[in-house]
Amino acid sequence: MRSVLVAGASGYLGQRLVQSLSENNFRVTALVRIKNKIKHLDKYVAKYIEAEVTKPETLKDTINEIDVVISTVGITKQRDGLTYMDVDYRANLNLLNEAQKCGVKKFIYVSVFNGHKLKDLKIIQAKLKFAEALRSSGMPYLIINPNGFFSDVSEIFRMAEKNTVYLFGDGNLKANPIDGKDLADNIVQNIDSDKKEIEIGGPEILTQNQIAEIAFDVLGKKKKIRYIPIWMSRFLLKIIRFFTTVKIYGPIEFFMTVLTMDMIADSYGKTTLKEYFKTLKK
Ligand SMILES: NC(=O)c1ccc[n+]([C@@H]2O[C@H](COP(=O)([O-])OP(=O)(O)OC[C@H]3O[C@@H](n4cnc5c(N)ncnc54)[C@H](OP(=O)(O)O)[C@@H]3O)[C@@H](O)[C@H]2O)c1
């Protein structure tokens, strides 16, 4: 049985990777900061490693007898006082260095779709820098570039719960977000693939208007959408950037930027956004 270490196992995607790997007969080691956070996944986990990926000394000699490392480590909503360079770049580099020392055979890194079009964003700069370090490391690798996860699109559902959804432009920009378990299954299927990079999104290409309509439909509420001109979103971003630190504006600028462009990646999976929104309904 081959061993896979999931770094970021406590996150949205990490948890689904742990489950999918175990279902596909891999021995799963979960690398987390706090083990209790994923206690509910005990039946899928063969071994826990509690370590701080931002502190390389805590990783020393921990990645032994591991065939493949999959890292989903990155800042999404965490407020630890660290920058994207500290986590998305350096923490992943710490993991890669330790994996190389310990003789790991492959490193799989979860980055983001359309990174080359989003190079101005701090989060993307850190992710691209790590991807480059991985490519030149000599370690066999696979970089996954996924479209938005359903967990992120839930922001639109949360607005619908409060009766009004705010969208940029005319709401006709399109994307194919993906369910976390579908994405995890795809990554597991590609563990032995010769591919170096994969771009992946979900099965439905939806306009932002359609996403909002699905949310109102699931909630049984009357549709109410307000449109914010794209020029105003750029203006708002400038103000947020000026008055807040990267910890505050980073996630906001990422979300606002991807909402102002079409985001369509290769389609995969079966789970629909409607099915996911139904699980969010209280
Ligand atoms: N969400 C999306 O729509 C989307 C789309 C494309 C790509 N991605 C990328 O895919 C990856 C996984 O996303 P996700 O939605 O699963 O994110 P998530 O739920 O926030 O999980 C991120 C993981 O990184 C860990 N982490 C963050 N900061 C850390 C720190 N300072 N020290 C140690 N560990 C830290 C978290 O640990 P804790 O649980 O302990 O905080 C968690 O396990 C991220 O790199 C994200 O940028 C996300």
Distance 77 CA to ligand 1 centre (A): 8
Determine what percent of the chain is predicted with pLDDT higher than 90. 82
Structure tokens at 10: 């406590």
Between CA 5 and CA 3 the distance in angstroms is 7
- Ligand 1, atom 28, lies closest to the CA of 75
- For residue 58, what are its two tokens? 């805590």
CATH number of the domain where residue 9 is located: 3.40.50.720
Whether the per-residue pLDDT at 165 is higher than 90: the answer is yes
Our answer on whether the CB atom of 112 is closer than 6 Å to any ligand 1 atom is: yes
CA distances from 147 to 33, 55, 153, 159, 236 (A): 26, 29, 11, 21, 24
**Is 48 part of a structural domain of the chain?**
yes
pLDDT for the residue numbered 79: 79
Cα of 242 to ligand 1 centre, how many Å? Answer: 25
Domain membership of residue 208 (yes or no) is: no
Q: Which two tokens stand for residue 178?
A: 């993906």
Q: Is residue 234 part of a domain?
A: no
Average pLDDT over residues 143-163: 96
Ligand 1, residue 73: give the atom nearest the CA: 24
Q: Which of 73, 110, 256 gets mutated to test ligand 1 (max ligand atoms within 8 A of its CB)?
A: 73
Which residues constitute the domain of residue 9?
3-146+180-200
For the cut 90, the answer to whether the pLDDT of residue 241 exceeds it is no
Is residue 105 domain-resident?
yes
pLDDT(208) > 80: yes
Average of pLDDT values for 28-57? Answer: 96
Cβ atoms 108, 187 nearer than 8 A:
yes
Count of residues making up the chain: 282
Distance 261 CA to ligand 1 centre (A): 23
Is 256 among the domain residues?
A: no
Please report which confidence band the pLDDT of residue 125 belongs to, taking 50, 70 and 90 as the band edges: very high
Count of domains observed in the chain: 1
Does ligand 1 lie within 6 Å of residue 75's CB atom? yes
User: What pLDDT band is residue 81 in, cutting at 50, 70 and 90?
Assistant: confident
The verdict on residue 230 lying in a domain is no
